[in-house]
Structure 1
Amino acid sequence: MRQQLVQLLYGVSISSDLDSGNVELAERLILNAVLDGLEIGRAGIWLLNAENTAIECRLLLDRENNQEIQTLVLPRDTYPAYFKALDTQRTITAEDAHTDPATFEFSESYLKPLNIGAMLDAPIRYKGKMIGIICCEHIGGARHWSEDECSFIGALADLYGRALSAQENERTNAKLERANQLLEQRVAERTRTLEVTLSELTTMQEKLIESEKMASLGNLVAGIAHEVNTPIGIAVTANSSAKDKLNTLNKLIESNTLTKTALLEGMNHLNECFKISFANLERAAKLISDFKQTAVDQSSLNLLETNIKDYLENILHSLMPLTRSHNIEVDIQCNDDLKLITVPGALSQIFLNLVNNSCVHGFVGRDQNKITISVTVDKQSDTYSICYLDNGHGMSEDVMHKVFEPFFTTKRGNGGSGLGMSIVYNLATQALQGEVSIDSKPNNGVTVTFKLPQKLA
C-alpha cells in the first residue's frame, strides 16, 4: 500500500474520534480520509435498514458541490443486481459504473445526472454480519481501482465497525450508569427506611427493656408485700394478746384481787408478746429496707463504693419470697470486707434477673434447689469475678448460644419476654464495663461468670 494511504489509515486508527462513542464524528473522519486518499469527489456511508429491504445514506460528502447528504434511500427491489452483488461480493469494483453488472442499474437515475463514471464499494461488517457499505464515487469517466485502494477502503470499513463497537460500549456504559444511579437512589432510600425502622426498633427495645425491669420490680413488690404481711400479722396478734392480758390485770387490780402469781404470769406473758412483736416487726423492717434499697438501686446507675458481700446478701434477702417459694438454698461466698467502686443498681438488676431465670427455667419441678454466688479478686489484673451457679435443669448448647439475644426465650406464650438475659448482658458489658460468659449442659445446671473491673471510671 502506498505511503500516503498508510499514513491516512494510521491517522484514522489513532484518532480519538474513532473510539469516542460518537459515531457521527467517526463517519466524518473516515469519509474525509476516503476523499483524500482516493482523490475522489464523493464518498458516503450507507447502512441496510432493519428489514434488509433498502440501503439508507448515513452521511455522503460531496466535495464537487460542497454538500452533505443524509436523505437518500435505495430500495432492494429497484436495484436487484446491485443488492445481489452486495450479498455475495467482498468489494464492488466498478471501473465503468454504467456497464458494470453490479452498478449499471444506477446509470440513468443516479450516475449520469451526477457525472459519476466509476464506483468502489466496500462492505461494512459488524459482529460477523454485513450491515452496509462505504461507497466511493469517481466524478468523470471510467477509473481503474488499484489493489492498494481496494485494501485501503476495506480497512476503513473495518475501522467503521470499531466505531460502532465504541458507540455500543458508550450506550451500554450510559445504561449502566443510569442503572447504578437508580440503584444508588434505591439503596439510599432503603437505607433511610432501614435507619428509621432501626431507630424505631431501638426505641421500642429500650421501652421493652424498661418495661421488663419494671415488671421484675413489680413481681418483687408483690413478693415483698406477701412476705411482709406474715411478720406484721404475727406482731399484730402478739400485740392483741398483750392488750388482752393488760385488760385482765387491770380488772384484777380494780377488784383488789391481784395476786403475786397472777402478776408474775401476766408479766411473763407480756414480755413474750413484746419479744414476738419486736422480732417480727424487725424482720418486716429489714425486708422493707432491703426492698427499698434494691428498688432505689435498680432505678439508678450511679457509681458507689459498695461492700459486695453485704450488698449481695441484701439483694438475696429482698428476693426471699421468690427463693422460699421454690425451696432454694442460697450460698454467698465472698470476703466480708471486700469493697469496690461499682454500680450497685446494675448488680441488683443482674441478680434479680438471674434468680428469676433460675426459678422460671431451672428449678421447675425440682427439689433441693441451690444457688451459689462466689466472688474472687484478681489483684494482678485489678479485676474481680462473680460466678453465679445453680443446680437446675441446665440448657442445651443451641439455647446457650442464643441466651443473650434480645427476645430469645424458651417460654414463648408462657410469660417469657426474652429480655431478662439480654438485660444481664447489657448491664455487665456496658454499665459494669466487664465481660460475661455462660456455661451449661442439660441436667447439669447453669454457670454465669462475670469478669469486672474493681474500679469503674
Structure 2
Amino acid sequence: MDPLEHILLDVSASPLIDLGAWEQASQLILQSLQKGLMVQRVSLWLYDLGDQSMVCQLLLDGDEFATEALRLQASQFPAYFQALRRERAIVAHDARVDPQTAEFLDYLQNHQIFSMLDLPVRHLGKMIGIICCEHTRSRRDWNDNEVRFAAAMADQVGRALNADRFLCAQSQLEQLNLQLEQRVEQRSQQLADTDELVRRAHQQMEAQARLATLGGIVAGVAHEVNSPLGVALTANTLLEQRLQDFIFGMRERSISASQAMSLLEQMHESSLLVTANLQRAQRLMAQFKETAAHQTRVESAPVAFRQLVVDLLASLTPATRQVPVFPDVYIDPNLTLITAADVWLQILTNLVINSCLHAFSETAHPAISISATLNDQHELQFVYKDNGCGLTAEVRKQIFEPFFTTKPNAGGTGLGMSILKQLVEKKLCGELNLLDGPGFGLQISCLA
C-alpha cells in the first residue's frame, strides 16, 4: 500500500475523529499531513465573517503547535480570497510568483517558504476553511497523489468537526434536561402537600420520559451511523483514486499487467469495505426505525420480544458505551407477546439508564443481563440484573417512592423507578419485585 494511503487509513480509523475530540483530532490531522507531505509548516484556518475573513485555529511548525490569533482579511489579500471562492485546491509550486499567493511575499520570505498547498475544508457540503501546507527552503512541485492525499485529509477535518458539533449539541441538550429536572424537583417540593397536583406532575414527567426515550433514539442514529458512513466515504475515496490511476495507466499504456491486477485488487478491497460498512449502517437504521415505531405504538399487538429488547439496546449504545457495558440478552427468539411495546421500551430504558448512572462507579467489569421466559401459567417472568454496587436496606425501602433519589445534586429526579412501578402495575397489570443478592436485580411478572 502507498505510504500516503496508509497514513490516511490510520487517521480515518482513529477514534479521535468521531468522538468529538476536536483539538486532539485537529492535531492528529496536521501531524499526519506534515509527516506524509514532509513539510515544515501545516495550519488549519476557518472562515470568521462569511468569506471575508479567516482565523488560524491551529499551526504546526516543526514539532511545536501554536494557537496565535492570526487573521487574514479579504481586503488585504484579494487575489488569494478570490482563488478560495472557487473552492478548489490552491497548488502553488512557486508561491512567491504564483498569482494566487504572491500577495504573501513578505510572509513567505520571512519564513523561507517557497511552495504552498491549500485545500478546502467542507462541513455539510459548504466550504468553511482551509488546510495550508507550506514547504520551506526550496521550491516544491506537488504531484497529483500528494494533492489527493491532502484533500482526503481535509475531508477528515470536516468529519471531526461534525462529531464535535454533535457532542456540543448533545451537551447542551443534557444541560437543558438537567435544568428541566431541577425545575421539576423545585416544583414538586412546592406541591408536596397536594396529592392531586403531585399526581398531575407525575403524569407530566411520564410523558416527558417517553419523549426523552425517542430523543435518545435519534441521538443514537446520528452517533452510531456516523462511524460506518465515515469509513465507507474514506474507502470510496481510495477506490476513486485507484480507478483514476488505472484509467490513466491504460490511456497512456504505461501500466503493466501486474500493476493493473494490483490496482484492480485494491479497488475490489475498497469496494468490499464500502459495501460492508453501508450494510452495517443499513442494519443500524433498521433497528432504530423499528424501535421508534414501537415507541409511538401504544396499543397492544404481537411483538417478537427478543428483537424488541435488542433494538432498544442498540438505540441506548451512546449511554452503555460510556460505562462501558454491553448487556447480555437471554430470551428465546421465538417468544412472541401480545403487549404494549411502548411500555416495555420505557421500562427497559429506565432500567438500563439507571444502571449506567448509578451502579458501576466502582465495578471493574460492568455487566447487565436481561432474561424472559413463560411459566406453566403462561405468565411472563422478566428478570433484569446488573453486577453494580447494589442497594442498601434503606434505599430498597424507598426506591419506588416518587422523587426519591440517591443523587439529588447530579441531575436525579427520583421519578425513574416510580414511573417503572406504575407502568408495570397499571399498564401491564403485573407485579414487580426486587431480587436479593449482590448488585441490582428486579423481576416483573405479568400475563403474556
Report the TM-score when normalising by structure 2: 0.54
Which residue of 2 is the match for residue 291 of structure 1? 288
SS at match of 1:369: coil
Per-residue CA deviation, residues 224-256 of structure 1 (Å, 9 max, x unaligned), is 422221111111111111111111111112212
Which residue of 2 is the match for residue 413 of structure 1? 409
Which residue of 2 is the match for residue 10 of structure 1? none
- State the AA in 1 paired with 2:351: L
Match of 1:370 among 367, 372, 397: 367
Verify: 1:351 aligned to 2:348, yes or no. yes
Are the counterparts in 2 of residues 224 and 291 from structure 1 also a CA contact under 8 Å? yes
CA distance in 1, matches of 2:216, 2:412: 14
CA distance in 2, matches of 1:368, 1:224: 27
Per-residue CA deviation, residues 287-332 of structure 1 (Å, 9 max, x unaligned), is 2222222223223322121122222222222222322221213221
CA distance in 2, matches of 1:208, 1:225: 26
Question: CA 1:424–1:340 in structure 2 vs 1: closer, same or farther (change >3 Å)?
Answer: same
CA distance in 2, matches of 1:275, 1:367: 38
Per-residue CA deviation, residues 399-421 of structure 1 (Å, 9 max, x unaligned), is 11211222211111211121211
CA distance in 1, matches of 2:366, 2:207: 30
Are the counterparts in 2 of residues 377 and 384 from structure 1 also a CA contact under 8 Å? yes
CA distance in 2, matches of 1:274, 1:345: 39
Which residue of 1 is the match for residue 297 of structure 2? 300
- State the AA in 1 paired with 2:250: I
Match of 1:232 among 229, 233, 250: 229
Gaps of 5+ in 1: 1-193
Match of 1:259 among 246, 256, 260: 256
Matches within 5 A, 1:3-402: 197-379=194-376, 381-402=377-398
Gaps of 5+ in 2: 1-190
CA distance in 1, matches of 2:336, 2:285: 24
CA distance in 1, matches of 2:403, 2:286: 33
CA distance in 2, matches of 1:212, 1:329: 23
CA distance in 1, matches of 2:248, 2:431: 70
Per-residue CA deviation, residues 60-90 of structure 1 (Å, 9 max, x unaligned), is xxxxxxxxxxxxxxxxxxxxxxxxxxxxxxx
SS at match of 1:328: coil
Report the number of matched residues: 258
Question: CA 1:338–1:219 in structure 2 vs 1: closer, same or farther (change >3 Å)?
Answer: closer
SS at match of 2:338: strand
- State the AA in 1 paired with 2:235: A
Are the counterparts in 1 of residues 216 and 315 from structure 2 also a CA contact under 8 Å? no
What is the identity percentage for the equivalent residue pairs of Structure 1 and Structure 2? 33
Verify: 1:403 aligned to 2:399, yes or no. yes
Are the counterparts in 1 of residues 291 and 308 from structure 2 also a CA contact under 8 Å? no
Match of 1:447 among 416, 426, 441: 441
Are the counterparts in 2 of residues 428 and 434 from structure 1 also a CA contact under 8 Å? yes
- State the AA in 2 paired with 1:449: Q
Question: CA 1:200–1:209 in structure 2 vs 1: closer, same or farther (change >3 Å)?
Answer: same
CA distance in 1, matches of 2:297, 2:364: 35
Are the counterparts in 2 of residues 383 and 451 from structure 1 also a CA contact under 8 Å? yes
Task: Choose 217-226 or 360-369, whichever is displaced more.
Answer: 217-226
Question: CA 1:412–1:220 in structure 2 vs 1: closer, same or farther (change >3 Å)?
Answer: farther
- State the AA in 2 paired with 1:453: L
Question: CA 1:260–1:292 in structure 2 vs 1: closer, same or farther (change >3 Å)?
Answer: same
Are the counterparts in 2 of residues 396 and 440 from structure 1 also a CA contact under 8 Å? no
RMSD, matched Cα: 2.2
CA distance in 1, matches of 2:362, 2:224: 23
Verify: 1:422 aligned to 2:418, yes or no. yes
Q: CA deviation at 1:392?
A: 0.5
CA distance in 2, matches of 1:436, 1:302: 22
CA distance in 1, matches of 2:417, 2:365: 24
SS at match of 1:313: helix
Q: CA deviation at 1:440?
A: 5.0
Per-residue CA deviation, residues 354-395 of structure 1 (Å, 9 max, x unaligned), is 11000000012432111111112113x221101001000111
Question: CA 1:269–1:230 in structure 2 vs 1: closer, same or farther (change >3 Å)?
Answer: same
- State the AA in 2 paired with 1:311: L
Are the counterparts in 1 of residues 388 and 440 from structure 2 also a CA contact under 8 Å? yes
CA distance in 1, matches of 2:268, 2:418: 52
Are the counterparts in 2 of residues 308 and 338 from structure 1 also a CA contact under 8 Å? yes
Are the counterparts in 2 of residues 307 and 337 from structure 1 also a CA contact under 8 Å? yes
CA distance in 2, matches of 1:228, 1:407: 36
CA distance in 2, matches of 1:232, 1:428: 39
- State the AA in 2 paired with 1:302: E
Per-residue CA deviation, residues 190-221 of structure 1 (Å, 9 max, x unaligned), is xxxx9x95444333222222223323433443
Are the counterparts in 1 of residues 369 and 386 from structure 2 also a CA contact under 8 Å? yes
CA distance in 2, matches of 1:425, 1:243: 56
